[in-house]
Amino acid sequence: AIEPVIRPLGFDWKMGISLIAGFAAKEVVVSTMGVLYQSGDANENTVSLQEKIRNQRYSSGPKKGELIYSPLAATSFLLFILLYLPCIAVVATVGRESGSWKWSAFVMFYTTGLAWLVSYCVYQLGSLF
């Protein structure tokens, strides 16, 4: 359901799921990717997570056969993670300290919107080259 929102950033559905899980804490993004990529064929357990991510390719659509984690998509993904909302504990603290949950909502939407915009610009401008 979120893929139309994240596709212009160069993300696939597994990246999107990782970002949603990262709302709890940003370090959860990596562990979620580990779960998503390590679950599979029992014979592939000798391949490291880094190698699995590096070798991921689109299986359908206009990008069929292309690498999912191209340097451009990976840069866009890292920028998004760096900029999007802080962990839920920070959002709750902002609301408690400011005395208004409007500031918490502002922090959530502003940082996520900024992350989306920066990732979009980087990926779309980089795609032109």
pLDDT digits (tens, 9 = 90+) for 15-36: 999 999 988 888 898 889 888 8
**Which pLDDT value is given to residue 102?**
94
DSSP state of 60: S
pLDDT of residue 52: 83
Residue-level pLDDT at 49: 79
CA distance linking residue 83 with residue 36, whole number of Å: 23
According to the model, what pLDDT value does residue 114 have? 96
pLDDT in tens, 42-100: 555 677 878 888 888 887 777 787 888 889 999 999 999 999 988 888 999 999 999 98
Asked if 112 and 120 count as a contact pair (C-beta separation under 8 A), the reply is no
pLDDT at 40: 61
Residue ranges of the alpha helices (H) in the chain?
3-6, 13-21, 28-38, 49-54, 71-83, 88-98, 101-128
Q: Phi, psi at residue 57, to the nearest 5°?
A: -130, 150
Where does the pLDDT of residue 12 fall: very low under 50, low under 70, confident under 90, or very high at 90 and above? confident
pLDDT reported for residue 44: 58
